[in-house]
Amino acid sequence: MIPRLSVVIPVRDGLDFICSAIASAKAIPVSPLEIVVVDDGSTDGTSELLQRLAEDDPRLLVIRRDRDHGAAAARNAGIAAAHAAIVCFVDADDMVYAEPIARRLEWHEAHPETVLSFADHHTLLPDGTIEPRFAGYYPRFETFLNGRRGIVELGDQAFDLLFGENPVCTTGSMARRDALIAAGGFVRELRRAQDWDMWIRLARCGGVAYSTEIETRYTVRAGSLSTDIDARVRYIAEVVRRHWAFALRRHPITALAALSRVEDVRAEQCRLVNRNVAAWAHYLNAFLLCSKVRQARDLARATAVLMGLRAGRVESLDERARLAAVSAL
């Protein structure tokens, strides 16, 4: 039988956490269900573990790749192997909540014009703290929601909302497989931010919906707190460049908001390595490009640091994780 849902999980060296992601996918009360795990050149025993799991559960399909091709290529391989009309993405160190995912799948099936949907999520920090991370954290998106709950269709504002801020958590995002293929899949050249680029492209070709229910758990691991400022911002800036002309023709304010996002991420990453003067400059640029409450608050905080009114050094793992969690989305 053709599965109703294909869950795609890319993994590389995930021996310590992949079982939780797979278990959360297996718990989704959908039948038939397919779980496609793409092992992207693991060397830590993940491959052997996946082979044993696949032998015990026919719903699990494992694709083994000989080396690290990157997250974009791994997701593309999962899409190509999937058989369901709807694909749900789960990162290997995250997990989904079964019942809400099943309910959103039913909604997707009843709204075939919707090519992408995403949901609120919890964030698990390295110290074990779990906190909610709402898409409404982003000011433009919060204004759009205006207190609405449930599954909200973004309508003709989908591109503007996703390009200006990117409120989408990749884990738990669902998309029509045919739309993913028509869009050309994830761009392999984008080693980072390739998911944001995909959501933007989908928003340009079909409907997008958002669930205010918390449906996933996003994990920030201590070993994943990147301080590679230049690489991260370079890829985000490349995504902005790819869609800049379209955004400028459609809505110049959205184009400026995207540039503000680049500056904001650069500022947050500068804070992670205690470059406070550079962080202040980027916060200022972000505020000038998009004068929202969040940008004003961040600039005020950075100014207070430079004036010696508050500590600027980011030393605790907890705060580093929170910064990474905010700037990653």
175 φ, ψ to 5°? Answer: -145, 150
Kindly write down the DSSP assignment for every residue of 24-71, as one continuous string. HHHTS--SSEEEEEEEES--SSHHHHHHHHHHH-TTEEEEEESS---H
Higher pLDDT, 256 or 185: 185
Is domain 5-219 given the CATH code 3.90.550.10 in the classification? yes
User: Is the pLDDT at 232 greater than 90, yes or no?
Assistant: no
How much is the pLDDT for 46?
A: 92
Kindly write down the DSSP assignment for every residue of 107-119, as one continuous string. HHHH-TTEEEEEE
Residue 218, classed as helix, strand or coil, is strand
How much is the pLDDT for 136?
A: 54
Q: What is the mean pLDDT of residues 262-285?
A: 84
Full-model pTM: 0.87
103 φ, ψ to 5°? Answer: -65, -40
pLDDT in tens, 299-313: 888 888 888 767 655
How much is the pLDDT for 224?
A: 55
How much is the pLDDT for 126?
A: 75
How much is the pLDDT for 226?
A: 46
What are the angstrom distances between the C-alpha of 92 and each of 18, 57, 193? 5, 18, 17
Q: What is the mean pLDDT of residues 20-38?
A: 97
Domain locations in the chain? Answer: 5-219, 231-328
The listed range with the strongest mean pLDDT (114-128, 177-191, 254-268) is 177-191
How much is the pLDDT for 134?
A: 67
DSSP state of 127: T
DSSP state of 128: S
How does strand 60-65 pair with strand 114-124?
unpaired
How much is the pLDDT for 227?
A: 43
Point out which residues pair with 208 in neighbouring strands: 116
